[in-house]
């Protein structure tokens, strides 16, 4: 297992480390409540140095990615990002990815845990092209990623890179330098409802960039945050966590990820199966739920309507903003409607009431400020 340059910093700050893919990243330091409040009120700094990063080049790279991705790759302009899917021939989700289009290449970013399956899938399909027509390069060791997320996160790239970064659109990226010293690819993402900027930087500059970001964010109350807090931040927005919410046989339509598919596309791997499911109707759907107070749930707790099993809870957690437990559940399509009440089983075989609700569960301060501005 690899250890990044920040390993000793995390140990010194009594951080709980989390195994991610082939390495270790920041798990939790100040406590999830403090980290949660930092993101929702100020800025959290995240070490994402183990994420999957792959570079695709070659004269057939566009054709190659159009075949494998469900999104409209050809419509992408330079400096743009799309959130899209890799699916197998049966229309099941292999991975959720971010695809970036640069001047002469593409980049794929995804979760650390998905590196092997993505690399193997790309490598398998690249072999049909003549040698050199599609080239894959694993950037996971040579480049690292730091992320700032929060209502005031925009202040970090403004001060470190350029005032002009205020104009960087959502799902956009640009090349720049941190304080005219460290080369970086600055990407604007976002799946928590708050501002998020990712700094892709050379491995050897990781520690220096980390300190510069921390120092710059002191005035705004930045703190180090671990990956654990992202679970609830994403859950509140119904942003699918592919490592928890997607099973081996989950389809895009079941997971509510139809917006990642360009249905007018002539062909892509899995299209026939996805269109067949669309025609016939999905068996179950992923829907947001809130739970009444009660005993802890069983893992993958079954959901009942009277005595009939109609689904299961895939993921749940406590929302500090709503002061209640929330979650995501796969429920039979006939019952997957907002405003219905069901019951779920607890660890002592009692029943606990839940309600299906619309998402996001609330409007964040970042969104409110943007609407007012």
Residues with Cβ < 8 Å from 252, sequence gap 6 or more? Answer: 70, 85, 87, 91, 93, 258, 260, 261, 274
- For the chain, give the number of residues: 373
- The CA distance from 330 to 2, in Å, is 36
Domains and CATH numbers, the chain: 7-51+141-235 (3.30.1360.120), 53-121 (3.30.70.1400)
pLDDT tens for the chain, residues 1 to 373? 455 556 455 445 555 555 555 555 554 555 589 999 999 999 999 999 999 999 999 999 999 999 999 999 999 999 999 999 999 999 999 999 999 999 999 999 999 999 999 999 999 999 999 999 999 999 999 999 999 999 999 999 999 999 999 999 999 999 999 999 999 999 999 999 999 999 999 999 999 999 999 999 999 999 999 999 999 999 999 999 999 999 999 999 999 999 999 999 999 999 999 999 999 999 999 999 999 888 888 888 999 999 999 999 999 999 999 999 999 999 999 999 999 999 999 988 889 999 999 999 999 999 998 888 6
pTM score over 0.85: yes
Contacts 24+ apart (CB under 8 A), 63-69: 64/125, 64/126, 64/129, 64/134, 65/99, 65/106, 66/265, 66/268, 67/125, 67/267, 67/268, 67/269, 68/121, 68/122, 68/125, 68/268, 68/269, 69/97, 69/99, 69/268
Coil, strand or helix at 205: helix
**165 token code pair:** 């970064």
Written as six digits, the tokens of 344 are: 């779920």
Instruction: With residue 214 as reference, give the H or E element that holds it.
Output: helix 206-217
Q: What span, in angstroms and rounded, lies between the C-alpha atoms of 59 and 110?
A: 23
Percent helix, strand, coil in the chain, to 5, is 30, 35, 40
Q: Say how far apart CA 12 and CA 9 lie, in whole Å.
A: 5
Collapsing DSSP to helix, strand or coil, 339 comes out as coil
DSSP result, 252-316 = TTTTT-GGG--TT-S--TTHHHHHHHHHH--SEEEEEEEE-S-SPBPTT-EEEETTEEEEEEEEE
């Amino acid at each position: 297992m690899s250890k990044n340059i920040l390993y000793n910093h995390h140990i010194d700050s009594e951080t709980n480390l989390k195994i991610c893919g082939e390495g270790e990243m920041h798990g939790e330091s100040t406590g999830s409540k403090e980290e949660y409040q930092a993101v929702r009120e100020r800025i959290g700094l995240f070490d994402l140095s183990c994420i999957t990063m792959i570079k695709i080049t070659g004269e057939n790279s566009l054709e190659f990615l159009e075949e494998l991705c469900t999104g409209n790759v050809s419509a992408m302009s330079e400096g743009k990002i799309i959130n899209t899917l890799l699916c197998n021939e049966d229309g099941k989700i292999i991975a959720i990815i971010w695809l970036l289009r640069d001047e002469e290449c593409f980049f794929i970013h995804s979760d650390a845990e998905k590196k092997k399956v993505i690399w193997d899938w790309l490598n398998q399909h690249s072999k049909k092209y003549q040698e050199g027509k599609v080239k894959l390069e694993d950037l996971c060791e040579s480049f690292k990623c730091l992320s700032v997320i929060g209502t005031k996160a925009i202040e970090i790239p403004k001060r470190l890179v350029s005032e002009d970064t205020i104009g960087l659109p959502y799902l956009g990226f640009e090349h720049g330098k941190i304080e005219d010293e460290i080369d970086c690819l600055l990407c604007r993402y976002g799946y928590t409802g708050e501002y998020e900027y990712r700094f892709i930087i050379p491995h050897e500059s990781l520690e220096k960039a980390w300190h510069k970001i921390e120092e710059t964010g002191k005035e705004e109350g930045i703190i180090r945050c671990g990956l654990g807090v992202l679970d609830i931040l994403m859950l509140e927005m119904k942003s699918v966590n592919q490592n928890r919410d997607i099973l081996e046989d989950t389809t895009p339509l079941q997971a509510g990820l139809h917006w990642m598919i360009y249905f007018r596309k002539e062909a892509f791997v899995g299209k026939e199966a996805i269109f067949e499911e669309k025609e016939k109707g999905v068996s179950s759907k992923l829907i947001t739920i809130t739970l009444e107070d009660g005993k802890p749930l069983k893992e993958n707790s079954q959901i009942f309507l009277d005595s009939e099993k109609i689904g299961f809870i895939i993921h749940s957690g406590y929302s500090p903003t709503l002061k209640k437990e929330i979650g995501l559940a796969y429920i039979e399509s006939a019952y997957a409607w907002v405003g219905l009440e069901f019951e779920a089983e607890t660890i002592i075989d009692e029943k606990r009431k839940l309600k299906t609700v619309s998402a996001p569960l609330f409007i964040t301060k970042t969104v409110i400020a943007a609407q007012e501005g």
